């Protein structure tokens, strides 16, 4: 299967009610596990590296692995730079072969967010790279570990602003805030599905949901039915995989080697991702 852009993947579910799973990765084991899970589910998938994780691995180092593994996969794979906040990092991701980037100017005033997003889009279009951008802010920002933050509807995406933002910037996908949060939930979130439906009706944009870990299957399905075409997923997976590895270490007899842990991680990620993509209704869609 060829390495594909986000735009190409969004054509697959343009008129269907399923979402593409987008998974943040930080090392080769995670890359291999996510692709194995997508192949197990026969589903397209998006590999993501978030700017906040560059403290652990560089864009160029992991990007080369992501692109190479994506090209050798048997399902369509997009390589995406997640939550890029700096122009320089986004350009580096494009140069490293990422086929899609997300510019996160959600913390900026609307006018500035539109202006800076348009600048990214102009460069990306010249290079054949897709662009996702965000309007509105999740209650718990990317990289924040405060699980007790209260929801703030004032930060949710405004449907009227979304119309202008989507059409003026020329982005390929719009990330929206309607009650989800990054990380694992301390309590069940209250999601504003009416707002989500209004944004979809008024913009016609492929919508992106960040902060999907820990939601009920019914929440995912309700979001997908209201125009969400891409769902970001990370926290629940890495927590679950860590628990699996811990159990295997406790149960192991004799010596355990690092390569044993690597195999366990890949297998645990594979199974988690196959189940998750099925929950997103993307299984069998490759």
Q: How far apart are CA 209 and CA 227, in angstroms?
A: 10
Q: Is 82 a catalytic site residue?
A: yes
What DSSP string runs through 211-232?
A: --TT--HHHHHHHHHTTEEEEE
What the block records as the tokens of 237 is 């997976």
**Residue 136 φ/ψ region, left for φ over 0, alpha for ψ in the -120 to 50 degree band, beta for the rest:** left
Q: Minimal CA–CA distance to 19: which of 205, 286, 214, 281?
A: 281
Q: Which has the closest alpha carbon to 52: 115, 178, 140?
A: 140
Residue tagged active-site, from 24, 29, 68, 82: 82
Partnered with residue 232 across adjacent β-strands are 22
Cβ 96 vs Cβ 130: under 8 Å = no
Burial of residue 255, with CB atoms counted within 10 A of its CB: 0-12 exposed, 13-18 middle, 19 or more buried: exposed
C-alpha span between 179 and 41 (Å, rounded): 29
Q: Give the residue numbers marked as catalytic.
A: 82
């Amino acid at each position: 299967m060829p390495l594909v852009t986000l735009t190409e993947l969004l054509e697959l579910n343009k008129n269907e009610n399923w979402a593409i799973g987008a998974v943040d990765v930080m090392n080769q084991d995670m890359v291999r596990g996510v692709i194995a899970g997508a192949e197990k589910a026969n589903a397209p998938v998006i590999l993501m590296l978030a700017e906040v994780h560059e403290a652990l691995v560089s864009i160029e180092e992991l990007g080369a692995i992501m692109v190479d593994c994506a090209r050798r996969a048997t399902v369509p794979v997009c390589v995406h730079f997640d939550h890029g906040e700096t122009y320089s990092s986004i350009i580096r991701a494009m140069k490293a072969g990422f086929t899609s980037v997300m510019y996160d100017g959600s913390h900026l005033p609307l006018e500035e967010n539109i202006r800076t997003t348009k600048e990214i889009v102009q460069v990306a279009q010249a290079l054949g790279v897709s662009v996702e951008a965000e309007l509105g802010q999740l209650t718990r920002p990317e990289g924040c570990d405060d699980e007790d933050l209260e929801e703030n509807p004032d930060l949710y995406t405004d449907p009227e602003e979304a119309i202008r933002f989507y059409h003026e910037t020329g982005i390929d996908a719009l990330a929206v805030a309607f009650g989800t949060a990054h990380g694992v939930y301390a309590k069940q979130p209250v999601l504003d599905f009416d707002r989500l439906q209004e944004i979809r009706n008024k913009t016609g944009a492929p919508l992106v949901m960040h902060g999907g870990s820990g939601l009920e299957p019914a929440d995912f399905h309700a979001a997908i039915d209201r125009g969400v075409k891409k769902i970001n997923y990370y926290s629940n997976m890495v927590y679950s995989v860590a628990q699996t590895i811990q159990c295997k270490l406790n149960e192991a007899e004799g010596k355990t080697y690092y390569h044993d842990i690597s195999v366990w991680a890949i297998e645990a990620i594979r199974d988690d991702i196959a189940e998750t993509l099925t929950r997103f209704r993307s299984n069998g869609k490759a």
